[in-house]
Amino acid sequence: MLRKWNKAAFLLVAASLLASPATWIEPSIAHASISKSEVEIIPLPADLVQVLKDLKEDFVPALGNLHTDAFTKEGSEYRVKLSDKKSKITSGVSFDLTVDENGNILALELKDPDRDKTKHFDKKAVYQKAVSFIREQVGVDIAVSNAGYLATQRGTATDQLLVVPFYQTQNDVPLSKKMGEVMLDANGQVVMFNQKKQKLPAGTEAADPKKAVAADQAMKEWEEALTMELVYDQEIGKLVYVPENEPKIDSLTGRIAPDLYVELKEERKIKGAATKDVWKDQKSMEKMLGEDLHLTLNRLRYDFVNENDKKADVSIHEWKAVANESVKITLDRKTRTPLRIEVEGQAEKELETALTAEEGKRAAQQFVERYLHAKEQAFVLKTTSLAKQLPAWVDQEQGRLHPKYRYDFYPEVNGIPVKSAAYTIEVDAKKGKVVFAQVNDAVALPPSQVSKQGLIGEQSAKEAFLKQVKLRSYYWYAKAANQTAELPQLVYEATEDSLSHAVDAHNGGLVDSWLAWEE
Residues 299-351: tens digit of each pLDDT: 999 999 998 887 888 999 999 998 889 999 999 999 999 999 999 999 988 99
- Residue segments in the chain with a per-residue pLDDT below the cut of 50: 1-40
Q: What is the CA radius of gyration of the chain?
A: 25
The reported pLDDT for the residue numbered 282 is 95
The reported pLDDT for the residue numbered 205 is 86
The reported pLDDT for the residue numbered 41 is 54
Return the exposure string of 155-188: e unless at least 16 CB atoms fall within 10 Å of the residue's CB, then b.
bbebbbbbbbbbbbbbeebbbbbbbbbbbbbbeb
The reported pLDDT for the residue numbered 87 is 55
Q: Which residues pair with 416 in a beta bridge?
A: 413
C-alpha–C-alpha distance, residues 446 and 444, integer Å: 7
The reported pLDDT for the residue numbered 12 is 38
Number of other CB atoms surrounding residue 199 within 10 Å = 9
Q: Are 208 and 171 in contact (CB under 8 A)?
A: yes
The reported pLDDT for the residue numbered 91 is 60
Q: Are 240 and 503 in contact (CB under 8 A)?
A: yes
The reported pLDDT for the residue numbered 29 is 39
pTM given for the model? 0.89
C-alpha–C-alpha distance, residues 153 and 423, integer Å: 12
Q: Which residues pair with 423 in a beta bridge?
A: 409, 439
The reported pLDDT for the residue numbered 103 is 82
Please provide the DSSP assignment of 352-411 as one string.
Answer: SSPPPHHHHHHHHHHHIIIII--SEEEEEEEEEEE-SS--TTS--STTT---EEEEEEEE
The reported pLDDT for the residue numbered 218 is 98
**CA 432 to each of CA 17, 19, 104, 289, 337: distance values in angstroms, whole numbers, following the listed order:** 54, 53, 45, 14, 25
Cα end-to-end distance, the chain, whole Å = 30
Tell me which DSSP letter residue 279 carries: G
The reported pLDDT for the residue numbered 202 is 81
C-alpha–C-alpha distance, residues 242 and 34, integer Å: 53
